[in-house]
Structure 1
Amino acid sequence: MDTAHSASAGTEEPRRRGGKRVMRRAPSASMADVARLAGVSSQTVSRVSNGYAGVNEETRQQVLAAMKELGYRPNSAARALKRGEFRTIGVITFNLSTTGNMRTLEAIATSAAHEGYAVTLLPVAVPTQDEVRGAFSRLGELAVDAVIAIMEVHLLDAATISLPPHVQVVVADSDAGDRYSVVDTDQNGGARAAVRHLLDLGHRTVWHLAGPEESFAAQRRADAWRAELTDAGCPLPPVVRGDWSAESGYRVGLELAQQADCTAVFAANDQMALGLLRALHERGRRIPEDVSVIGFDDIPEAGSFLPPLTTVHQDFAEVGRLCVQGVLGRMRDRGDEHGTTLVPTELVVRDSTAAPALVVGE
């Protein structure tokens, strides 16, 4: 290969600066370089680069080999301008430590890849209005076609957030259906089914280990717990609150273990239920003989808890798929209508719930 060709391939050339020998990186290979090396037209290189049909396999392999030899990387920005899209979806979220957010993000990335789209993650370090506005403003610099936001509704004030032109938005885990398209699991139905299951077993009432106050999901589940008990004419115990972590469930569990009339607990997620199980066990409260415990999420480890945890299953894969399908549909149809799509939940009964050994007061 001659010197000029080597320079086009992105090799480094020696030169001197201040008496020292330094290396200078030559310009990157161009589409024309690839075409010359492969002995084809630039149009053929473009078709191979973009994955279009109509190129025989031998020629395609020849072009790919030339790309590899020259270190050629297609100019995604130029292709985006030509197509009118970047084939990238931005995802804005905070609190990546929670099971729900991580599994939703994983499902979005998987579904986007299946559709031929990449995902650009824009984490919000602190859940404030200014941070969310900053994340949305960065979208104009990161070249995305659409946005999926996994965050609380009170941080999505349409009056203070400026979206880049033509960027479509779908929100997960929110009730902003009058301003954005929303995809969520049936929080209300799942929580009510959990409480109803415990009441049907014969428990006089159900205590609730709620998530943090600022969480939309925690609010929905607490409201459903309260409504189900009210409809059944059952006493309403005071809400005890954690922060989604197993540690917070353990701390609350130490307190609940002292409540003699606590025979059933609905935890707003499985991680807090795990900590609760440990605390009750350490205080000598048998599960489910003395206290029944039910969670929410159905994390992969839920069946391996001791005892295996009764919980509410959320279909995170379906949430992610519908979020991606939602933004792609809005991109293609340019629809203006907003609404909420609910993904059904399912009660999974395992060994952590049973009829109370003794109904207090009888």
Structure 2
Amino acid sequence: MPPNRRASQADIAEKLGVSVSTVSRALANEIGISDGVRREVQRVARSLGYRSKHGPASVAGDRRALALVPLGSATSGLSGFYFGIVEGMQAQAAAAGVQLEVRLVKEAAVTLDLITKQVAQTDAGGLLLAGIDAWSDLAAWSQQAGIPVVLVNGSDPDMRVSSVSPANYYGAFMATQRLLDAGHRRILHYTHRYRPTIRQRQRGFETAISRTPGAVGTMVNTDERQTGELLRDLLAGKYDVTAAFIWNDIAAVEMLDGIYAPESPLPRSFSIIGFDDLPIAGMATPRLSTVHVDREAIGRAAINLLVQHLEGETAVQQLEIGVSMLIGETVSTLA
């Protein structure tokens, strides 16, 4: 098909080896067309960027989406984070005319087989994966099936599927710079080794440290020391640091009581910053300094990006939502 010519129903019919009448009825979601044929017609229509005279929404199934959210994250201390994202997705889906179904799944059970079954059950034309990273088979299935996938609070370093995430690199740089500006030069970063989004926070920390003469960064991973163990190490003086940037608010809040207890051996100027601005950060005493993430904006952006793909956009996109520094009560200026 010439690059500048709009796809027609005849193009879809030719590609599938069916009649134009079959294509027309499948796109109109008429009775008498099997689910398998209808899905194939709609898949090819999306891949060719087909537009009817009534607009892109007239392709049946294009405005139906499925969001999978990890059960553990939705019910654990991270629940505030993912509830905010889901609220953003639901609000924007309603505004965009997208029929969105949200399902909780166990992280360990997220396989391609589970995903394809969930998509088939909901007859979804697009898929949102919250806190679930991409892998090669998933990307290949997405392309073959014509079902666009958007990672929500995730990123794909291999650029196989689109994603929306907070600006993790810049947020971590900002948090570390806040400690540096307060005069701290020996800073510990407690991090998680695995997810691409968290590795971006590591990069932001390392960049801020490298740009400041005399600054020394110490990296500790969760697979090396659990939060309680790290706190005991800090109180025992194992690390020669005056401040800590913690990879999320949950771990940071768990450490506050020990750090600021009257009997703590750490100096009162010891400083700590978290990331995410979860509700527990605002309830903590002292109020945790942290990086604010607009979770609802992430959800809204994910729906908008998915709609673009449903309407024929094929370019993989990685969107970042800006973050900001929330000045709490856990950063002290060194004399």
Length-normalised TM-score, structure 2? 0.71
Identity %, equivalent residues: 21
Alpha-carbon shift at residue 276 of structure 1 (Å):
1.1
Question: Aligned partner of 1:119: which letter?
Answer: L
Superimposed CA distance per residue, residues 103-133 of structure 1 (whole angstroms, 9 cap, x where no aligned partner): 32232123223334333234442447x7244
Aligned to 1:343: 321
Superimposed CA distance per residue, residues 196-219 of structure 1 (whole angstroms, 9 cap, x where no aligned partner): 1101111112111213x2222222
Q: How many residues align?
A: 271
Instruction: For structure 2, list consecutive stretches of 5 or more residues without a partner in the other structure.
Output: 1-56
Superimposed CA distance per residue, residues 163-207 of structure 1 (whole angstroms, 9 cap, x where no aligned partner): 674422222211357222221111000000100110111111211
Matched, 1:325 2:299: no
Matched, 1:222 2:198: no
Superimposed CA distance per residue, residues 325-358 of structure 1 (whole angstroms, 9 cap, x where no aligned partner): 11112212x011112111111011121101136x
* Range that drifts further, 141-150 or 230-239: 230-239
Aligned to 2:106: 125
Matched, 1:257 2:235: yes
Choose which of 180, 192, 201 in structure 2 pairs with 1:199: 180
Alpha-carbon shift at residue 137 of structure 1 (Å):
4.2
Choose which of 89, 106, 116 in structure 1 pairs with 2:65: 89
Question: Aligned partner of 2:148: which letter?
Answer: Q
Instruction: For structure 1, list consecutive stretches of 5 or more residues without a partner in the other structure.
Output: 1-80, 358-362
Aligned to 2:286: 307
Question: Aligned partner of 2:180: which letter?
Answer: L
Give the Cα–Cα distance (whole angstroms) in 2 for the partners of residues 278 and 330 of structure 1.
47
Give the Cα–Cα distance (whole angstroms) in 2 for the partners of residues 309 and 242 of structure 1.
24
Question: Aligned partner of 2:177: which letter?
Answer: R
Choose which of 71, 74, 85 in structure 2 pairs with 1:104: 85
Aligned to 2:164: 183
Q: Classify the secondary structure of the residue corresponding to 1:183.
A: strand
CA distance 1:290–1:144, shift in 2 (3 Å): same
2:245 and 2:273 in contact (8 A); partners too: yes
Give the Cα–Cα distance (whole angstroms) in 2 for the partners of residues 283 and 195 of structure 1.
26
Aligned to 1:275: 254
CA distance 1:87–1:161, shift in 2 (3 Å): closer
Question: Aligned partner of 2:61: which letter?
Answer: E
Question: Aligned partner of 1:232: which letter?
Answer: T
Alpha-carbon shift at residue 221 of structure 1 (Å):
1.1
Superimposed CA distance per residue, residues 38-91 of structure 1 (whole angstroms, 9 cap, x where no aligned partner): xxxxxxxxxxxxxxxxxxxxxxxxxxxxxxxxxxxxxxxxxxx98613743101
Give the Cα–Cα distance (whole angstroms) in 1 for the partners of residues 262 and 232 of structure 2.
7
CA distance 1:343–1:164, shift in 2 (3 Å): same
Work out which structure has the larger RCO, using CA pairs closer than 8 Å and 6 or more positions apart in sequence: 2
Alpha-carbon shift at residue 291 of structure 1 (Å):
1.2
> Considering only CA atoms, is the larger Rg found in Structure 1 or Structure 2?
1
1:186 and 1:344 in contact (8 A); partners too: yes
Give the Cα–Cα distance (whole angstroms) in 1 for the partners of residues 131 and 276 of structure 2.
17
Give the Cα–Cα distance (whole angstroms) in 1 for the partners of residues 240 and 218 of structure 2.
10
CA distance 1:165–1:240, shift in 2 (3 Å): closer
Q: Classify the secondary structure of the residue corresponding to 1:326.
A: helix
Superimposed CA distance per residue, residues 274-324 of structure 1 (whole angstroms, 9 cap, x where no aligned partner): 001022234733888231011101123423311111110111111110111
CA distance 1:216–1:289, shift in 2 (3 Å): same
Q: Classify the secondary structure of the residue corresponding to 2:217.
A: coil
CA distance 1:184–1:355, shift in 2 (3 Å): same
Question: Aligned partner of 1:321: which letter?
Answer: R
RMSD: 3.0
CA distance 1:187–1:222, shift in 2 (3 Å): same
